[in-house]
Structure 1
Amino acid sequence: MVAVLIVVGIVSGCTGIRVSPSAVETLQAPAASSATRYDISWTMHQNLPVTEDAEMVRYVEDKFNANLVFWNLENNKYEALLDMKLAQGSIPDLFRIRQPQDLLKYQQQGVLAEIPEEMLNKYAPNIMKAIRENTPGYQEYGQIDGKYYGIPVINPTNIYRIPIVYRKDWLDKLGLPVPQTLSDFEKVIYAFTNEDPDGNGLKDTYGLSSEGMNVVFGAFGQIVFADQLYFGVKDEKLVIGALQPEMKEALQYLSKWYRDGVIDPEFITGENKGGYKHLSHSFINGTIGMTSMGNYYHWIKGGDYLTWNSNGMEAPVEAKFNVKELTSINPHAQIIFGQPFSGPEGKRGSKAYDMLMSFAAIGAGAADKPGKMETILQILDYVSANPDLDEAASMKYGIQGTHWQWASDSKEDVILLPPYDKTFSYQNTIGTGLGMTVPLMPTERREKWAATLGLDQDGIYNALEVATPSLIKYGTELIKQKNKAYISIITGDKPPEYLDEFVKEFMAAGGARVLQEANDWYSQHPVK
């Protein structure tokens, strides 16, 4: 990934309000029909709903002579809520496709508009420039049969894999180092279970749960538990990780650990018990001592780096998300990051999020009104990849002087002003966050800190980032079949040797066709 200059380049935000006049000049082309005021329905990433009087929304509406109508779809249930609206005959004009594999599905359903390439280049020039210059291998990922139906949303910070986190205070009490090998890890999780690491006199702790299992699979070179089928590469061909013979050995370890009571017996329901989806409640509540859940910024400890406070002074960053919740329950709890531990053949890795994060598309109905698609693209470009630093920051943080201010004349760091510096997802409520992430690496202090953690090494990515027709047809059931088989083996209902039988059943249930189409696609796309 190419690191570039501007801190706000990765803007996934929207709308500015009282911002610099020069921003008007950044628009590359006027709306096709400025006299026409369009009603534009809009979907976006949301932790909280956009309020009816959101000031940033009003600014964008006035600038582009449009009425934005937001579909406040809860992020944790986004696909289910979106599909329900589609089934009722409603199609959003700005169509966020959160799962990349769903682009083909929605195109086949006829709910997406074709976006002419010349229109993309004319009305979304900054977005297309960022993709073309920084991630050229992804330029065609939004195409189906040579026609654009989606704009690829590529997250440059996904060069950092999912971290591996341990309870440092538990390790210290038991006199154990951070594990480097699978054998080391086994010693640690047995100690976490049997040697009372929390000191309460009860046998109520475990070594790991569901998210930690992927690090075990990673020690054998694959990823298994995910909301998609994970593909790897062997002998220059794609393979499905869960079907590989080396997974049998990984399952032997896990089934033994489960039998010995080292794995949280509630692993089947996952580590998150509701609310913000990246929180590991099993770890926060002291049930387990190791996890690999959430992203690097969900595990920021107090003092990890210096940041700017609301008074314009440098101060130690406060604990965030999982660490904040953990220490609110147990102020003495400590965490430490570990590298993926190596398996018998020296393999290691933890799950990494795909660089292709999602797609931004346009609903089929928007193409029926002349000028409407152009206006949507123009708004999307303005709120996502604005080259004006003041405007771009306003699209992400809100009103300059009210919600935020620059830390210095260099315009590299932003200071959030009270009370917004303490307000969860205030950007949603005021109407920022409307746009898409573009592949410009941010230079904020948080990302500089992340770069020191070694998270750009040993990430295991899904080698198939798009959907194929058979994956749409069979994928959901194949994932259920895979999860059922693996859980049955881990819990002892089936022996590890059952994996061979499962592979045959999987391939007969559509897996063979899925694998063939995946390799047909892979043969036509160079490695990025």
Structure 2
Amino acid sequence: MKRTKLLTASLVLAFALGACSSGSTGESGSTDSSGKTDSGKSANLTSDDLAYGKYKEPVTLNIGFKIPDDKLKDGDTNDNNIASRYFESITNIKVVHSWEAKGDDAFKQKVNLAIASDDLPDAVVVDRNQLRKLIDNDMLEDLTGALDQYGSKLVKDIYNSTDGRALADATYDGKLYGLPNVAIEADAPSLLWVRQDWLDKLKLPAPKTIDDVEAIAQAFATQDPDGNGKNDTVGLTGDKQVVYGQKPNPNGFDSIFSAYHAFPKNWIKDADGNVIYGSITPENKEALTKLADWYKRGLIDKQFALYKETQEPIVANKTGLFFGPWWMPYWPLADSVTNDTKAEWHAYPAPADASGKFVTHMAPVTDRYIVVRKGYEHPEAAVKMLNVFTRYERRQDTSEEAKKLDNYAAETGVHIRNFYPFDLLLDYADAVVKRYNDVQQALKGSVDPNTFDPDTKLVYDFTVLDNENPKKNMDAWKPANAYAFGGKVLAETDMEKVYSVFYGMTRTMETKWATLEKLENETFLKIIVGDLPISAFDDFVTKWKQLGGEQITKEVAEIANKE
């Protein structure tokens, strides 16, 4: 594997901002890839003139496409529909599907086959491991200059919101080999969601510590918080996966582990700077001991590992305590409130660690990349397409043509984003916190909400609507409460954020990781539910190393230390 060097955040920032500040508005008219107007005369163009400029002559871009479930109107196809015609009208880029695949697994297999046969389409979306293989086999175009010259201010600003991490993640030996997606940073922390009406009824304080979570779980399981006279509520509920490790969903126990400074499923560095797998550190044993004790005492839902769908006790309002990300009001809490209009859910940054700090693992800032095959004549075409669909996705195209897309989506239920040429979305890394703060300022009268971008204005409008008529409109309740509670915690909590030093797949992982993951998941779950003693954790660590974990750790350390 070739030696890799990541761009530093400062270099990436300087590179990305350079094109934004250069040039002045030139002649009107569409531009070709050399920066000339349709009259053929050279022009001093700004970055966005080139970013959204239309090719003078048609350009064909062959791609691999993931087939969505959406049903188009009669006559429209996956590669000829209202969305593709909109993009082509703006760019003069004709997108042709070299091949199509239904579903994530089939798409991944198609990409792997294209790599193995050295038969890439002009551009395609790949994952982290596929990107590394393509770079190692010298199959990709360097996109550094293309993004520098043709990237829109919007796209560059979004990349800059990651402090350089997104572009650095796709940069090797000083060259940018992919256009990365950008994940919202807020999606990583797992917060404690509590039925506030139950908490108030039982006169319990807001949770802060492990002991507080324990006390609330015990009260919710034994003191009839819903007042129906039956002993049918549970304490803390969970998921049979135990922890998610990166981006959480409902019911993971990630935050319990983080409170003990354990970070399972993440690659971290120990006190001596050595790379180590987070699931085998001694701190995990402390977290598992606590969870096993809670389960034995009935503070954790005895059925949590048996549910067909993890959200069942939440939706049925049999629990008032679970962990999940900031967006839980969208799902499953909307269903909880629909089933019980008395339900009031609040989010808390709990439990804190022994020093009182809320600690959380973070997710990778990116995990997919648009790449361009080496030798393609117009690598900037992929950049220009990213500019156009990102502008639409971020609600910054107010043209009549864009409104037609919105109307079509509203009338048919078709998700326009499913027909973007690439399944790759960008949003500001701090989008949730920024929208929360902006909405709060507007509610106080400090900011005119009419100055907001469309996404923030929509959150504001829904918040006002829900404040005026609580729970009368669930479409308004979802974002209003996600931001009012989840967004509030993220904006106002000083968190200790722990990033994994590696997210990819090594050679040994390709053959042994599935076995190691199964061992880990089963051991953690069995310890919690009492099928194994806590001493089984030590046996797990020994076995994990013997079955390939030790070799994998060496491989991860070699890669992480080079980067």
Fold agreement, TM-score > 0.5:
yes
Residues of 2 paired with 1:179 and 1:70: CA distance? 54
Identity rate, percent: 18
The alpha-carbon deviation at position 166 of structure 1 amounts to: 1.0
Determine which of 514, 521, 545 is the counterpart of 1:507. 545
Residues of 1 paired with 2:316 and 2:263: CA distance? 26
Determine which of 382, 385, 395 is the counterpart of 2:388. 382
Q: In 2, are the aligned partners of 1:233 and 1:463 still within 8 Å (CA)? A: no
Q: In 2, are the aligned partners of 1:215 and 1:350 still within 8 Å (CA)? A: yes
Determine which of 104, 107, 112 is the counterpart of 2:132. 104
Unpaired stretches in structure 2, ≥5 consecutive residues: 1-8, 11-27, 32-44, 240-250, 440-482
The alpha-carbon deviation at position 261 of structure 1 amounts to: 3.0
The alpha-carbon deviation at position 171 of structure 1 amounts to: 1.6
Residues of 2 paired with 1:105 and 1:170: CA distance? 53
Residues of 2 paired with 1:157 and 1:423: CA distance? 32
The alpha-carbon deviation at position 129 of structure 1 amounts to: 6.8
Residues of 2 paired with 1:398 and 1:169: CA distance? 46
The number of residues matched between the two structures is 450
Determine which of 524, 533, 552 is the counterpart of 1:486. 524
The alpha-carbon deviation at position 272 of structure 1 amounts to: 4.6
Partner AA of 2:106 in structure 1: L
Determine which of 293, 304, 322 is the counterpart of 1:267. 304
Determine which of 167, 183, 193 is the counterpart of 1:139. 167
| Displaced runs of 4 or more, over 6 A | 21-25, 29-33, 70-74, 422-425
Distance 1:235 1:431, change over 3 A: same
Distance 1:353 1:23, change over 3 A: farther
Equivalent residue of 2:125, what SS? Answer: strand
Determine which of 351, 364, 372 is the counterpart of 1:341. 351
The alpha-carbon deviation at position 359 of structure 1 amounts to: 2.5
Q: 1:59 maps to what in 2?
A: 86
The alpha-carbon deviation at position 244 of structure 1 amounts to: 1.3
User: Is 1:324 equivalent to 2:334 in the alignment?
Assistant: yes
Q: Tell me which moved more, 236-245 or 439-448.
A: 439-448
Partner AA of 2:294 in structure 1: W
Q: Tell me which moved more, 507-516 or 130-139.
A: 130-139
Determine which of 45, 50, 53 is the counterpart of 1:28. 50
The alpha-carbon deviation at position 195 of structure 1 amounts to: 2.3
User: Is 1:37 equivalent to 2:47 in the alignment?
Assistant: no
Q: Deviations over 1:372-408 (max 9, x none)?
A: 5432232123333x5xxx896356999455566xxxx
The alpha-carbon deviation at position 34 of structure 1 amounts to: 3.3
User: Is 1:292 equivalent to 2:323 in the alignment?
Assistant: yes
Unpaired stretches in structure 1, ≥5 consecutive residues: 3-20, 274-279, 300-319, 405-416
Q: In 1, are the aligned partners of 2:30 and 2:55 still within 8 Å (CA)? A: no
Q: In 1, are the aligned partners of 2:222 and 2:231 still within 8 Å (CA)? A: no
Q: 1:213 maps to what in 2?
A: 253
User: Is 1:115 equivalent to 2:138 in the alignment?
Assistant: no
Q: In 2, are the aligned partners of 1:164 and 1:338 still within 8 Å (CA)? A: yes
Q: In 1, are the aligned partners of 2:350 and 2:358 still within 8 Å (CA)? A: yes
Q: In 2, are the aligned partners of 1:397 and 1:432 still within 8 Å (CA)? A: no
- The alignment's TM-score, normalised by the length of structure 1, stands at 0.70
Q: Deviations over 1:480-503 (max 9, x none)?
A: 221121112112122112211211
Q: In 1, are the aligned partners of 2:181 and 2:366 still within 8 Å (CA)? A: yes
Residues of 2 paired with 1:56 and 1:419: CA distance? 10
Q: Tell me which moved more, 373-382 or 130-139.
A: 130-139
Partner AA of 2:124 in structure 1: F
Determine which of 233, 240, 244 is the counterpart of 2:277. 240
Equivalent residue of 1:292, what SS? Answer: strand
The alpha-carbon deviation at position 367 of structure 1 amounts to: 4.0
Partner AA of 1:236 in structure 2: G
Q: In 2, are the aligned partners of 1:142 and 1:359 still within 8 Å (CA)? A: no
Q: 1:83 maps to what in 2?
A: 108
Determine which of 216, 222, 226 is the counterpart of 2:262. 222
Q: Tell me which moved more, 202-211 or 342-351.
A: 342-351
Residues of 2 paired with 1:264 and 1:64: CA distance? 57
Q: Tell me which moved more, 157-166 or 168-177.
A: 157-166
Equivalent residue of 1:28, what SS? Answer: helix
Q: In 1, are the aligned partners of 2:268 and 2:275 still within 8 Å (CA)? A: yes
Residues of 1 paired with 2:138 and 2:56: CA distance? 24
The alpha-carbon deviation at position 207 of structure 1 amounts to: 1.9
Distance 1:447 1:357, change over 3 A: farther
Residues of 1 paired with 2:64 and 2:101: CA distance? 12
Determine which of 159, 166, 171 is the counterpart of 2:194. 166
Determine which of 388, 395, 406 is the counterpart of 1:393. 395
Q: In 2, are the aligned partners of 1:208 and 1:263 still within 8 Å (CA)? A: yes
Q: In 2, are the aligned partners of 1:102 and 1:467 still within 8 Å (CA)? A: no
The alpha-carbon deviation at position 322 of structure 1 amounts to: 2.9
Residues of 2 paired with 1:503 and 1:203: CA distance? 38
The alpha-carbon deviation at position 182 of structure 1 amounts to: 0.9
Residues of 1 paired with 2:132 and 2:434: CA distance? 35
Q: 1:362 maps to what in 2?
A: 371
Q: In 2, are the aligned partners of 1:94 and 1:362 still within 8 Å (CA)? A: yes
Q: In 2, are the aligned partners of 1:47 and 1:428 still within 8 Å (CA)? A: no
What's the Cα RMSD here?
4.2
The alpha-carbon deviation at position 60 of structure 1 amounts to: 0.8
Q: In 2, are the aligned partners of 1:427 and 1:433 still within 8 Å (CA)? A: no
Residues of 2 paired with 1:292 and 1:393: CA distance? 31
The alpha-carbon deviation at position 186 of structure 1 amounts to: 0.9
Residues of 2 paired with 1:239 and 1:217: CA distance? 16
Distance 1:438 1:426, change over 3 A: closer
The alpha-carbon deviation at position 282 of structure 1 amounts to: 3.5
Q: In 1, are the aligned partners of 2:100 and 2:107 still within 8 Å (CA)? A: no
Q: In 2, are the aligned partners of 1:383 and 1:434 still within 8 Å (CA)? A: no
Higher helix proportion: 2
Q: Tell me which moved more, 48-57 or 174-183.
A: 48-57
Q: Deviations over 1:124-177 (max 9, x none)?
A: 465457536862344332135655443333335448733321111222232222
Distance 1:507 1:114, change over 3 A: farther
Distance 1:374 1:105, change over 3 A: same
Q: In 1, are the aligned partners of 2:62 and 2:95 still within 8 Å (CA)? A: yes
- The alignment's TM-score, normalised by the length of structure 2, stands at 0.67
Q: In 1, are the aligned partners of 2:194 and 2:321 still within 8 Å (CA)? A: yes
Q: 2:287 maps to what in 1?
A: 250
Residues of 2 paired with 1:72 and 1:178: CA distance? 51
Residues of 2 paired with 1:441 and 1:397: CA distance? 27
Equivalent residue of 2:275, what SS? Answer: strand
Q: In 1, are the aligned partners of 2:234 and 2:300 still within 8 Å (CA)? A: no
